[in-house]
A and B are shown apart, each in its own frame.
Chain A
Amino acid sequence: MEAPRIDSGRIAEVSHGLDRAEVESREKVFSVSDLSVAYSGNVALEGVALEVHKNTVTAFIGPSGCGKSTFIRCFNRMNDLIPGAKVSGTVLYHGEDLYARDVDSVEIRRRIGMVFQKPNPFPKSIYDNIAFGPRVLGMKGSLDERVEQSLRRAVLWDEVKDRLKDGALGLSGGQQQRLCIARALAVEPDVILMDEPASALDPISTTRIEDLMHELKRDYTIIIVTHNMQQAARVADMTAFFSVLVDDDGAGRRGILVEYDSTTKIFTTPSDKRTEDYVTGRFG
């Protein structure tokens, strides 16, 4: 094994995430090839290819404007909701084309859930927030049980069990985000996408969310976008580094995938100089 080129002490403790061989031995959940996204003709992301495996945490890192959020939204077809957005290339979900013409994009989102950067609880009670998904999807079984299970899995149950009927907007930022995670869990997804889930939270709440990710990955596949490199180093098994390519005439900016590898490798012995520059803080 190559001696680490980068002093990993400088980046803070790199988690003992799975190594690449272990990750690749697991079932493939997503397989992306030659993916590009354009908004009303402006290319935001170009030529991305990578694979995401079951029960792992994958992080997308990179400077702002490199298309990480755009990319993560491709996994649950949320880009469909933006008029003028065009996705080309292939995204396979368990081997099937996610963007095939006859795929029900609404149903997809039940299986591939999402948590947003700014916690967005509905202006309803805590109970109704969690219950919303199961209700609109017509899920059978005891709603009360489902709500309790989801809140337990999101490590929020003990804090709110006595006030389920209270408004969700009265919770703190960290609690609201865990509520949103519980809400996503309630519809029994397969994958959970998190777009900068802790960037609006204080450090203690952030740590809780990260611990939660470690727990959740036993049952779910998790993809997160983060601008916090240390966070990626702490939670992710695989990390993808994105960057911005500026056109020759300086007018267009496109996001591209630079390097995708196990977290340890990205943060200690990256193959690409651009990656090295970014993770050592030389730019971005």
Chain B
Amino acid sequence: MSSASLPATVQGGRPRRAWRNRFFTVAMLFCMFVAFGTLIVLLVDTFVTGWPALSSQLLTGLPSTVPAEAGARPAILATLYLGLLVLLFSVPIGVLTAIYLEEYANRERWWNRMIEVNIQNLAAVPAIVYGILGLAFIVRGIGVGRVVLAGGLILTLVVLPTVVVASREAIRSVPDSIRQGAFALGATKWQVVWRQVLPASIPGIATGSILALSRAVGETAPLIMVGAITYVAFNPTLMGPYTALPVQIYNWTKQPDADFQTLAAAGAIVLLVIVLSMNAVAIFLRNRYRRQW
């Protein structure tokens, strides 16, 4: 079929279309390139800069004013403790809240609608505002002080909305026919939730929790406000002063000495390893347990 038989408009439009398409495709690929390219540059730069300082001294030693001897053990330990606290608090509270909103709350009632809207708003509050909350109440108000427990509590509040949202989605995706079948056998509401709905939503809840945890571990702003001190040369305890890895990195970055910059990069590598491996686990869980109903 020769092109001469096609209407002139179609013929005439083609080259211009082709140019436009080409330009647009290039533009889109440029967007992808910038986004992913920056990621790669960041990872490579951090890795290359920090590699020299990455040693067992860094991981197991105590901080020091001499860069060559500085270690981040207290910071790493504190970060792990904080992570544990966040897991311990945010998952039960978050899942229970999600169960309440999805299975128990009567949507007609205004207080239940308010709880829902409230959680959506909390998800968008900047992390530093949670830091202010912590400063006012926990540290100076009630006076628990600048301790690990306070940091854990505040980080829990920061990620709680994320856990609630993820859990709600997981619960919502359980088909209603399962609930109907369980009710029809004479099960009570809690029996249906505990024995059918929750077990079926565990993969989704686990994924959401791990992602929330990885975010909590990387958060710096609230901890700056709530407690992490500059120089901690001892292992952290629950009710004792501490510094966390992100804060340690920040402190090192602030120092003008180039060796501290290297240390900061090394600390960043450790933090990235922790955070990204958590993300990898979450993504793996999500793919492995994707349920076909």
Contact = CB atoms under 8 A, between A and B. Distances in A.
A109 interface: yes
B184 interface: yes
A3 B196 CA distance: 55
B55 interface: no
Nearest to B175: A120
A136 B183 contact: no
A123 B187 CA distance: 17
B178 A113 contact: no
A122 B183 CA distance: 12
A136 B185 contact: yes
A136 B181 contact: no
A78 B184 contact: yes
Given A122-B196, A123-B200, A133 B185 contact: yes
Interface in B186-215: 186-188, 191, 195-196, 200
Interface stretch (A179-187, A221-229, A235-243, A251-259): A179-187
Contacts of A113: 184-185
Interface in B146-204: 175, 177-178, 180-188, 191, 195-196, 200
A122 B195 CA distance: 10
B181 A122 contact: yes
B186 A107 contact: yes
B181 A116 contact: yes
A109 B180 contact: no
Interface string A92-129: 00000000000000111110011010101111000000
B185 A184 contact: yes
Contact of A120 (B107, B181, B191): B181
Contacts of B186: 106-110, 133, 136-137, 187
7 contacts: A81-B183, A106-B186, A107-B186, A116-B184, A118-B177, A122-B181, A180-B181
A191 B113 CA distance: 40
Contacts, number: 65
A108 to B, nearest CB: 8
A120 B106 CA distance: 26
Contacts of A83: 106-108
A187 B185 contact: yes
A138 to B, nearest CB: 11
Contacts of A180: 181
A110 B187 CA distance: 8
Interface string A17-32: 0000000000000000
B177 A120 contact: yes
B196 A114 contact: no
Given A120-B175, A120-B180, 19 more contacts: A76-B184, A81-B183, A83-B107, A106-B186, A108-B186, A113-B184, A116-B180, A120-B177, A120-B178, A121-B181, A123-B200, A123-B291, A132-B185, A132-B196, A136-B186, A136-B188, A137-B185, A180-B181, A184-B185
Given A83-B106, A132-B195, A136-B191, A123 B178 contact: yes
A interface, by DSSP: helix, strand, loop or mixed?
helix
Contacts of B195: 132, 136
B178 A109 contact: no
Contacts of B191: 136
Contacts of A106: 186-188
A113 B188 CA distance: 15
B184 A136 contact: no
Contacts of B178: 120, 122-123
A109 B185 contact: yes
A124 to B, nearest CB: 8
B177 A78 contact: no
A110 B180 contact: no
Contact of A136 (B107, B108, B175, B187): B187
Interface string A165-196: 00000000000000010011001000000000
A113 B106 CA distance: 27
Could you say which of B108, B184, B188, B200 has the most chain A C-beta atoms within 10 Å of its C-beta?
A: B184
A26 B37 CA distance: 81
Contacts of A183: 181, 185
Most buried by A among B183, B191, B291: B183
A15 to B, nearest CB: 27
Nearest to B291: A123
A116 B106 CA distance: 26
Contacts of B177: 116, 118, 120
Given A132-B195, A136-B191, A122 B182 contact: yes
A114 B113 CA distance: 33
A184 B180 CA distance: 12
A10 B291 CA distance: 46
Q: Which 4 A-B pairs have the closest CB atoms?
A: A110-B186, A120-B177, A114-B184, A133-B185
B101 to A, nearest CB: 15
A98 to B, nearest CB: 14
